[in-house]
Each structure stands twice: as C-alpha cells, then as structure tokens.
Structure 1
Amino acid sequence: MLNLKGEGLIIAPGTRITLLPQSLAIFQMGQSPGLRTATRFESQVGHDFLLLRLESEPLERLFRSPIPLLEKNLGILRRWSSREAQFYEDLVSPPVAEAARHAWFQAKILEILSLHLFHKPAGEPLFCTQLKQRAHRYTRQALELLQARLQEPLDLNELAQDVGCAPHYLSRLVKQDTGKTLSLHLRAFRIERAAELMASAHHNVTEAALEVGYNSLSHFTKAFSEEQGMTPSAFLKRLS
C-alpha cells in the first residue's frame, strides 16, 4: 500500500500495522481465519492511498525463489522517499498510451515488489534516487555509514576518516548536498527505524529506543516527537 495522506489501521491474524502519511506498508493477510479489519482514522486532510493486492504463490513462482518477507506474517511500515512518491504519481496518472497500460502496470508493480520484497538490510540501505544522482560520493558514503551504525554515537572524525576526507569538509558537504546536518540525518534514520519496530508490534518504546542507540527515554521521546510530530506513546495509541 502506498499511503499519500491520512492514517489508518490494518489488523489480521499475525499482522497489526498503523498506516502513516507518506508511507509504504507491506503486509500479508495469512491463511488462518480471524479478525480482518482495515479502518481509517478521522482526518482533516482526508485519505488518499493506493492498495496493490497480490497472491503470494504466483509471486514466488515469478521471482523463482522464496521471498524473505512472505516467510513471515508481519506488517512492515516504511516512510517513502521521492522514488515512492513518483511511483504513486505514475500509478495514478500512467505516462503511457491506453494500449500499453496493462503491460506498463505489470512492469511498474514488479519494480516496486523487486525493491521492497527483497529489502536490503540496515547495513545496505536504500537511498532515494535523487540523492544518489545529485549528492557527492562522500555524502552518500557518510549517510550509508550512519544508517548502518544507528546504535553508535556520531563521531565526525571517525566518519570522515572512513569516508576519506577532512571532518570539516564532510560536515559542510553533507549540509550543502542535503540541507541537513549529519546529526539530523542520524536522528531521522534512528526514529524512522524505531517507528518501524514499534509499528511491527515487536518492540515497545524502551526496546525500540535502545535498538536505535538511545539510552535515555527522555531524549528518545524528544527526538521522536520532533521527527514524527507525536510522542512515542501517542504513536503506540494509534496501534491499539
């Protein structure tokens, strides 16, 4: 599901996931009977989303290998990048003639599935296409290392040494390329991962905070609120 705006909740056997604005949700309904609910929270901005529904067996035959995500009956929530925003726009307004749309939709859906069903682990992050194209290689490498080291404090000297440039130059370059400091990028990566962990119902607030490198709940709560616009407890209430 590509969720442009509005918030909602999906409940099925083994799956419970809260949908957030501008997020991509991947979930499997499972075969066992039980409660299956999809509801939308009241919103002043309304709701706008696309739901792609596919069967797991044809997908496994198509990709000719087991799909890691489908081995678990879990819900996964990821904040989308400019790439997913473009997917959304393309699916709503296909840039091809009517005669080509059936094949085009199939190709576009396969592209989305290839990127997200075989999502790279934290050590091999996926970055938005725009950043890959425009940012300096030092910036890309630095952000990749930050995202792979969420539990570690930011050490500019060590990061610059690993990237291969002077600390002050790396700091200035990242701000110039992205408009954000390294510390703000690390905070964003940490909170995004923490939100994923809590939305998947595998971690409570304390566990999520520790998992992404926060030893202080007050610091985590402040960072979470600044990134998500709500406290961790408010976020969890959306899941209940």
Structure 2
Amino acid sequence: MSSESNARRTDRRERVAASQAAPFSEAQAWRDVGAGWQPIFGSFRGVGYSIEWHDFFAKRDLDWAASFHPNCVELCLNLEGAGFVKGPGGCVEFAPDSAGFYRRETEPLAAMRHADQHHRFLTVEYSVDFLAKHLHAAAAMLHPVLRAAVNGDKGNATASNSVRLTLAQQQIIATLRQPPVYAAAQPIWYECKAVELALMFFVQPPVEQELFCTRQQRLAQERVEQVMLLLRQNLAEPPSLEDLGRKIGCSHFYLSRIFSTHTGRTITQHLRQLRMDKAAELLRSGDYNVTEAALEVGYNSLSHFSAAFHETFGCCPGLYPLKTPTQKS
C-alpha cells in the first residue's frame, strides 16, 4: 500500500476521532430557527442545568432530538405548538399549555415539532448529578423517569405523561425570561428556580401523604382537565356551563372560578381557542373550505367565524395558511 494511501487513512481516522471527542453542542439542532432559540441561563456541563427559550414558526417538521444532551433529563413547558418526544420507555406528546419531561441516556431519542405551527416553549435541561444532589431527600417520591435516571437504571422509563400548565406555572416562564433580581444575584436565583421546577414536576408524593392544599390543587386541576376534554370532544355542540358542572360533579360557579384561576381565561374563551385551532387544522388539510370548517367547529354564522379567526390568526380564513403575519415575516 502506498504511503499516500496510508496518509489518507490516518487523516480519516484522526478526523473521526476528533469528531467523537468534540464536546456536545445543541446549537446545530436549532440552526434552522436562528434567533428563535435563546439560551437564558446556566450550562449543562458547567452548573448542571440549562434554561432555554424557543419561539419560532416551523415551516416543516423540525427534528429537535439532537438538542438533548446524553445522560440528561429535560423538562419542557410548552405554551404553543405541538410535538412529541419518544424513546424506548415511553412517549410524551405536547399540546399548547402543557408540560412534560423525558430522559435521554446515551442513545438519541426521537423528537419532532410539527410543521405549519408557531412554537413557543421553555426547556430546563438537568444533568443527573445535579438532580441527585438536590433531590436525594425526596428519592422515595420521585417519578419513575427520575428514579431510573438517578439510580442509573438502563432502558426503563423514558418519558412522563403530559400535564396541563397552570396559570402560576405560565407565570414562572415569564419570570425566568425577565428575572426580578440584579445580575450578581442571578446565579443563585436561577439555581433556586431550577430546583423549584424539579420539585414541582419530578416529585410525586403518595396520595395519602399529600398536604390538604396540595390535594385541593390536584383535584381542581383534574376538574379543569375534564372540562377541556369535554369541550374538545364536543366543539360543534358544547355542553353548557351547568351541564359541565353536573358531569364533573361540582357547582358550575366553582367550576368557572377554578378554570379561570388555573388557565388565565374563561371557559368560553378556551372553547373559542379550541374551535379556532381545530378550524385552522381543517383548513390546512385542504379537505375543507371556509364554510365547512366553520360548521364543523360549531359556527353557524360565517361572519362571526371569520371575525374570530382573524382576531386569532391575523388573517381571514379564506387566505389561511398563506397570509398569516408570522409567515409573511
């Protein structure tokens, strides 16, 4: 074999070795969204957690699996847009105003952000060492995904179920983006917030050990989720507020109050958003014209439907999805 061939082979081996030794970087995963990916604070390899904000329109399905560090647990607080993360031990699906978490070991996960949608979400990526240090006192109450990560168990639970974001949790997102402390205090403040979110989502005490206030919050959240499900299943002919109260088993006045407290909007406002989201989905499919989409989601007046659609998406339904403000920009 010639010395030139040996040199090429050696050079190739050196390039492979260099690529394998290169430190992990998630910047490549977000190259298509540009400024839509914004690191807020922290360093996965440095302090053991990283907080990042994402705000972009996906013109096509976006694979975001390459953004997950090996041996991490990531929490996603999803405000807008839909997607999923899937591994050998489970799958978490994200809808607007939902949260969930997932664990990557050494092998990559499958993850997708769906096309033709505006995506807004915040992630907190934790190293296993950071979680073991701060959650050791609650080890017996950890979610199975976290317990497997901290114990180093292989191939077990990969993802949680998604849960609805409460209004308080949505407010935490806003606070993380604009911290109310001086720069010198931010390292301590952000670490405390990272631990707070870990305790909030990763620790699951047995029902018999719940504090009274925690139990009341959980029951209220379950009722809110029941309302959302009943509305989603009956967009064309939604149940009245009184019917919702009877089905769920509580006063409709109380139901209305806890719904607004947990979501930041009324039941009527939430129903309208569900209808607009479904109408947009039907129009994107190309199988429905404007009138058919309006009737499908419960609007008998085309003018009322068009006004609501324009207020939600910034364009009339006849031009959707070609002329939304986000896409034009």
Compute the TM-score of the two structures, normalised by the length of structure 1: 0.51
Name the residue aligned to 1:54: 126
Residue 192 of structure 2 corresponds to residue 107 of structure 1: yes
**Deviation, structure 1 residue 71:** 2.4
- How far did 1:57 drift? 3.2
Query: Which structure is richer in relative contact order (CA contacts within 8 A, separation 6 or more)?
Result: 1
- Distance between the aligned counterparts of 1:56 and 1:101, measured in 2? 22
Residues 1:75 and 2:159 aligned together: yes
Number of equivalent positions: 154
Q: Gaps (5+ residues) in structure 2?
A: 1-75, 149-156, 227-243, 261-266, 268-273, 279-329
- List, as ranges, runs of 4+ consecutive aligned residues in structure 1 with deviation greater than 4 Å: 120-127, 140-147
Question: Bigger radius of gyration, 1 or 2?
Answer: 2
- How do 1:136-155 and structure 2 match up within 5 A? 143=219
Structure 1 residues 78 and 124: CA distance shift in structure 2, 3 A: farther
1:2 equivalenced with 2:77 (yes/no): yes
Conserved 8 A contact 1:7-1:47: yes
Letter in 1 for 2:159: G
Could you list the runs of 5+ residues in structure 1 that have no partner in the other structure?
133-139, 160-169, 181-187, 189-225, 231-240
Partner residue, 1:210: none
Question: Secondary structure of the equivalent of 2:186?
Answer: helix
Q: TM-score, normalised by structure 2?
A: 0.39
Displacement of 1:178: 3.7
In the alignment, structure 1 residue 18 sits paired with structure 2 residue 93: yes
CA distance in 2, matches of 1:111, 1:24: 15
Q: Distance in 2 between matches of 1:98 and 1:106?
A: 13
Aligned to 1:84: 169
Report the CA distance shift for 1:155/1:16 in structure 2 as closer, same or farther (over 3 A).
Answer: closer
- Structure with the higher strand share, 1 or 2: 2
1:47 Cα shift?
A: 0.8
Checking the alignment, whether the CA contact within 8 Å between 1:5 and 1:20 is kept in structure 2 is yes
| AA of the residue aligned to 2:176 | L
Q: Which residue of 2 aligns with 1:219?
A: none
Q: Distance in 2 between matches of 1:75 and 1:41?
A: 19
Inter-CA distance 103–122: structure 2 relative to 1 (3 Å threshold): same
Cα contact 1:6–1:43 (8 A) shared by 2: no
**Root mean square deviation of aligned Cα:** 4.0
Give 1:102 shift.
Answer: 1.4
Distance 2:124 2:109 in 1: 17
Does structure 1 conserve the Cα–Cα contact (< 8 Å) formed by 2:97 and 2:165?
yes
